[in-house]
Amino acid sequence: MIAQAKHIEAKILDIKYGRVLEGLKIGIPDIDEYIRFKQGNFNLLIGHANVGKTTIITYLFTVWAIKHNLKFLVWSSENSSSGLVRKIIEFKMGLPIQDASDSQINAAVKWTDLHFKIIEVEELFTYKQLLKQANDIKDAWDYDALLIDPYNSLAKDTQIMRGVGSHEYDYQVASEFRLFAKKRNVAVYLNAHGVTDALRRVHPRDHEYEELPQPLGLAGVEGGGKWGNRSDDVISIHRYTGSAMDWMYSHLHVLKVKETETGGRCTPHNEPIKLRMSRNNVGFEFMGRDILHSKKTDITEILKFSIMIQSIALLLLIATIFVFISNQVKADVYIQPIIGFMFGALYSKEILEDSLTQYTLQWCGGFISITIVWINKKR
């Protein structure tokens, strides 16, 4: 099929006039600036073993499923289907199953069944066999994204390997994953481990994380940088498991975003997105806010609370000033409620008998008035 110039022109004009459909957000601007869900994208997730790559992407899938009603197909050879489902329902509830009621668990399981399907790992798959199964499931159940976790658990197709060699074999696999994503309009997420040697690359002395392994880069991925070349977006997931203080933080380094017009961009160098594991490992927090279960506060409620605090502060300030004045001039102080609602101030001076002068200073603020009265004798 030959690309039509008129179709290309239409896409260019869409970009020019801001008509491009953006990737889906999770609702936190400081995360959405870098990470978006885009159907039809081939995404690479990289990281050392046992840093929580599967946990992070499963959590993001759960967030997107809740916020955008998406469906996900998961093949994870290193995790049992029951373990994955348990983690998803805990993310959904924001509770460990031990603390949830049977009805909460039942509702979460039903929701999970609607939004997630897990391919049972009962036999080894080559990439072609896995894609065939994913293709058949897509016809029966219209999912939005596929997780392949991890790549090195797929059996090598020895017949193809003999013909092209291991280097070209990986290129072919990456190309077919990408093609599947585009043809079926499915976001494909491929989880890839690093080579053993990458763990030896540690931070230097005097670094915040000295002597601990550095986050995995594309050069340290099993199979090399070809995966970065073929992918649309690349995220490196890292956790300093050897840190006594920060072991619970997952660092997300966005290394590649092919189309920034649809949202997302690379994170600045050494400034990853940091997600803190919630208590009992049932979710993640960002800058102290639970991503899924924090209660949203209406802006009007914030404004009302702010006005109330400022009003109280103003009342206390004025009361302090009045008390200070009363002490200086030995005045009487009267604090009285107002029937109605009034704002304003009053100052009066009245000459009495025997060369006496009465001074009155009053302030009204809402429902309360503060009045001080004192008398001076004219010399």
Contact 58, 248 (CB under 8 A): no
Tell me how far apart the alpha carbons of residues 146 and 74 are, in angstroms, rounded to a whole number: 6
- Answer whether 338's CB lies under 8 Å from 364's CB: yes
**Is residue 257 domain-resident?**
yes
Q: How far apart are CA 81 and CA 84, in angstroms?
A: 5
Residue whose C-alpha is closest to residue 253's, from 264, 242, 238: 238
What gap in Å lies between CA 104 and CA 69, rounded to an integer? Answer: 19
Within a domain: 174: yes
Residues 276 and 323 in one domain: no
Q: Average pLDDT of 326-341?
A: 78
Type of residue at 103 = S
The answer as to whether 10 is a domain residue is no
Write down the residue that tokens 């072609």 correspond to. 128
User: Do 151 and 177 form a contact (C-beta atoms < 8 A)?
Assistant: no
Residue 184 — φ and ψ, nearest 5°? -100, 5
Q: 155 with 124, same domain?
A: yes
CATH number at residue 205: 3.40.50.300
The amino acid at 278: S
> Which range has highest mean pLDDT (211-225, 258-272, 330-344)?
258-272
**Confidence label for 45 from pLDDT (cuts 50, 70 and 90):** very high
Give the residue from 168, 149, 151, 152 showing the smallest Cα distance to 160.
Answer: 168
DSSP result, 221-246: BTTTTHHHHH-SEEEEEEE-TT-TTT
Quick one: 29 and 122 in the same domain? yes
d(CA 293, CA 282): 11
Cβ-contact 371, 360 below 8 angstroms: yes
pLDDT tens, 3-30? Answer: 667 667 777 777 666 667 899 999 999 9
- The pLDDT of 220-247, averaged and rounded, is 90
Give the integer Cα–Cα distance in Å for 55 and 90: 12
pLDDT band at residue 299 using 50, 70 and 90 as cut-offs: low
Interatomic CA distance for residues 333 and 346, integer angstroms: 14
Phi then psi for residue 335, to 5 deg, are: -115, 120
Same domain, 85 and 118: yes
Residues 287 and 317 in one domain: no
333 and 219 in a single domain? The answer is: no
Contact between 371 and 318 under an 8 Å Cβ cutoff? The reply is no
Q: Pick the last residue of a domain from 273, 294, 315.
A: 294
Beta strand pairing call for 289-290 and 187-193: unpaired
Q: 95 in a domain, yes or no?
A: yes
Last residue of a domain, one of 250, 269, 294: 294
Amino acid (1-letter code) at residue 124: L
* 121 lies in the same domain as 194: yes
Indicate whether 286 and 304 sit together in one domain: no
Residue 12 within any structural domain of the chain: no
Q: Which residue, among 42, 44, 39, 7, has the nearest Cα to 21 in the 3D structure? A: 39
> pLDDT per residue over 133-151, tens digit each?
999 999 999 999 999 999 9
Residue 2 belongs to a domain: no
159 and 54, same structural domain? yes
- pLDDT (0 to 100) of residue 2: 67
Number of domains in the chain: 2
Task: Give the integer Cα–Cα distance in Å for 191 and 50.
Answer: 12
293 CB-near residues (< 8 Å, 6+ apart): 94, 283
Residue 218 pLDDT greater than 60, yes or no: yes
Asked if 266 and 360 sit in the same domain, the reply is no
Q: Where are the alpha helices (DSSP H) in the chain?
A: 5-16, 29-32, 53-68, 81-93, 102-115, 127-140, 158-184, 226-230, 299-329
Q: CB of 119 within 8 A of CB of 147?
A: no
Which structural domain range is residue 318 located in?
300-377
Name the domain boundary from 294, 309, 341: 294
C-alpha closest to that of 249 among 304, 212, 299: 212
Residues 225, 218 contacting (CB under 8 angstroms): yes
Are 212 and 250 members of one domain? yes
Sheet arrangement for strand 42-47: 116-118, 72-76, 145-149, 187-193, 42-47, 233-239, 249-257, 273-277, 284-286, 289-290
The answer to whether residue 317 sits within a structural domain is: yes
Same domain, 244 and 289: yes
Q: What are 336's two structure tokens?
A: 């009285």
% helix, strand, coil for the chain, step of 5: 40, 25, 30
User: pTM for the full model?
Assistant: 0.76
Position 3 in a domain: no
Greatest mean pLDDT range, 140-144, 170-174, 357-361: 140-144
pLDDT score, position 297? 44
Question: What is the pLDDT confidence band of residue 36, given thresholds at 50, 70 and 90?
Answer: very high
DSSP label of 37: B
